[in-house]
């Protein structure tokens, strides 16, 4: 398992539009991608689960990748977060 932490910079956090983009990005990989905030985790491929985390600007999340080419996927997910959230 590979993971990274990221602090959300988007003024409204992970709301509907970026959550939808995140789900689409996560689904493009053959891996298990999990987002964790304050001890609560959600599958990055499930929109409602992500929204349920209530991630706001300034919150630090952990993104974990299991299976597949973990290093490449972590790098691509990190780029996604930097460019969208």
Strands of the sheet with 60-66, listed across from one edge: 2-7, 60-66, 32-37, 40-43
Question: Structurally, how many domains does the chain consist of?
Answer: 1
CATH number at residue 7: 3.30.1340.10
Name the pTM for this structure: 0.89
Compute the distance between CA of residue 9 and CA of residue 2 in angstroms, rounded to an integer: 22
pLDDT, position 77: 94
pLDDT digits (tens, 9 = 90+) for 27-80: 999 999 999 999 999 999 999 999 999 999 999 999 999 988 899 999 999 999
Could you give phi then psi for residue 13, rounded to 5 degrees? 75, -155
Among 2, 15, 46, 56, the one annotated catalytic:
15
> Is the predicted pLDDT of residue 82 greater than 90, yes or no?
yes
Per the annotation, the verdict on 15 as an active-site residue is yes
Domain of 19? 2-84
Q: What does the block give as tokens for 41? A: 């985790």
């Amino acid at each position: 398992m590979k993971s990274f932490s990221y602090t959300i910079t988007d003024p409204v956090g992970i709301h509907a539009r970026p959550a939808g983009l995140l789900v689409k990005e996560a689904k493009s990989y053959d891996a298990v991608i999990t987002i964790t905030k304050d001890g609560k985790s959600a599958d990055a491929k499930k929109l409602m689960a992500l929204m349920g985390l209530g991630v706001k600007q300034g919150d630090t999340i952990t993104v974990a990748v299991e299976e597949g080419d973990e290093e490449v996927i972590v790098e691509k997910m990190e780029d996604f977060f930097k460019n969208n959230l």
